[in-house]
Amino acid sequence: MDKLVIEGGRPLKGVVKIGGSKNAALPIMAATLLTDEPCVLRNFPKLRDTLTMIKLLRSLGKSVEMTEDKLTITSKGEANHVAEYKLVSTMRGSFCVLGPLLAKLHKAKVSLPGGCVIGIRPVDLHLKGLKALGTKMEIENGYVIGTARHLAGAHIYLGGGFGSSVLATANVMMAATLAKGETIIESAACEPEIEDLSNFLSAMGAKIVGIGSPRLVITGVKKLHGINNYTIIPDRIEAGTYILMAAATGSNIALQGGCYSHLMALIDNLDQAGVKVIQEDHLIRVKSNKALKPVSVTTYPYPGFPTDLQAQFLALMSLAQGISVITDKVYPDRFMHIAELNRMGANIRREGTNAIVQGVKALHGAPVMASDLRASAALVIAGLAAQGRTEIHRIYHLERGYENLDDKLNALGARVFREKE
């Protein structure tokens, strides 16, 4: 196992290329289970999570070939309806094979999901929506077991205690594409990743109205076909993370391949902090200095401030000149990075769903432990801005969502390298 070593205090400069979206790629990969015809995906991110999904698709009867940033998925024979624990338990995104399996095979046995330890993330909305389509659902020995003679359209409300659910929306929408009649999903997730999935399904022949809105109307069809050269959207969380790295180090960098409109909540809050993010030709440019103003943010489902950037923004605010309050309304327990940031000299305390951040003049390198994917990114931001050497342990979390992170940072002028534990 490797650890990541960062020699901090070096400004970043240059251009960094943003890859395809992990959170869009996973449900789109699952959607290929809805057809027996080939599907070719472009701008495919090579990450620990997407490689796990490739293994899962192969176990379900698909043939998958990967070259450069292209993924080709075809059927190779009889499909399997069982998604095993050893694969689904490693990441939550793999649970979205449930809807496609039920729609195509009318039966599914899918392990309850795993992933990062960031708080309770129940699957009740998934089950609620799929039951409404006519599926009989049971939970037995850690598996969700679903059966259905046929799926029928329904009017479904998918709002939950913390807002809409991205994966539940994906699961129900995919199942509804092959259901008989019309399905209406109210309080559907509006994230760009759901919009991308909707566009992919539409390209396969699905009939979906209201794409990008909280009300989706899906008219079921008898069959979906394959698709050649569908391009996955850029990863807005990767882009946001690099923007925050530049902000924390007082650097000017440019992002190639990111989508400016997907980042508006972050850009607006950074403007208040004194960091300028502008779109110029085909690049997103970041201009920052080290005189950061404190900004309080609350995470909400899209188009609100994303919970997947909460940890990274908190790391930035630990260097602001004043007090910030960071509130997570999506995953209220997602604050395990606070203790590690405090080891580096930050002054943060948690009060319920809030993190109270008293900015400090400088952070200092220290050995720290990554607890989840986005907490890992927050520690990298802190390490880049800190004085001295930072060692980040358990960096396998980073590999779930950031492709070639150390190479990209070194190309920007950072001093980052791996060492064996």
Residues 376, 392 contacting (CB under 8 angstroms): yes
316-366 pLDDT, tens per residue?
A: 999 999 999 999 988 877 898 999 999 999 999 999 899 999 999 999 999
Q: Any idea which residue has 């329904």 for tokens?
A: 154
Residue by residue, DSSP assigns 175-238 as HHTTSBSEEEEET----HHHHHHHHHHHHTT-EEESTTSSEEEEE--S----EEEEEPPB-HHH
116 is known as an active-site residue? yes
Omega into 303 within 30° of 0, i.e. cis?
yes
- Which amino acid belongs to residue 211? I
Phi first, then psi: give them for residue 23, nearest 5 degrees. -75, -15
**Count of CB atoms within 10 A of residue 24's CB?**
27
Give the pLDDT score at 116.
46
Exactly one of 39, 116, 190, 259 is catalytic; name it. Answer: 116
115-161 pLDDT, tens per residue?
A: 444 444 578 999 999 999 999 999 999 899 999 999 999 999 999 87
pLDDT beneath 50, residues of the chain: 115-120
Residues 25, 94 contacting (CB under 8 angstroms): no
Give the pLDDT score at 114.
61
Its CATH class, for the domain covering 22-231, is alpha beta
* Nearest residue to 33 (alpha-carbon basis) of 134, 110, 90: 110
Residues 45, 235 contacting (CB under 8 angstroms): yes
Distance CA 74, CA 226 (A): 9
Distance CA 149, CA 106 (A): 6
Give the pLDDT score at 128.
95
Question: What is the residue extent of each domain of the chain?
Answer: 2-19+234-420, 22-231
Crossing angle (nearest 10°) for helices 310-317 and 373-385: 20
**The whole model's pTM is what?**
0.96
Token duo for residue 375: 């907490």
Its CATH class, for the domain covering 2-19+234-420, is alpha beta
Give the pLDDT score at 119.
45
Instruction: Tell me if 2-19+234-420 shares its fold with 22-231.
Output: yes
Task: Output 49-52 pairs: Cβ under 8 A, ≥24 positions apart.
Answer: 49/22, 49/91, 49/93, 49/400, 49/401, 50/22, 50/25, 50/26, 52/87, 52/90, 52/91, 52/94
Give the pLDDT score at 268.
98
183-200 pLDDT, tens per residue?
A: 999 999 999 999 999 999
From residue 125, give the alpha-carbon distance in Å to each of 36, 251, 322.
28, 42, 40
Give the pLDDT score at 121.
52
How would you list the strands of the sheet with 416-420, edge to edge? 367-369, 389-393, 2-7, 416-420
Token duo for residue 191: 């994230």
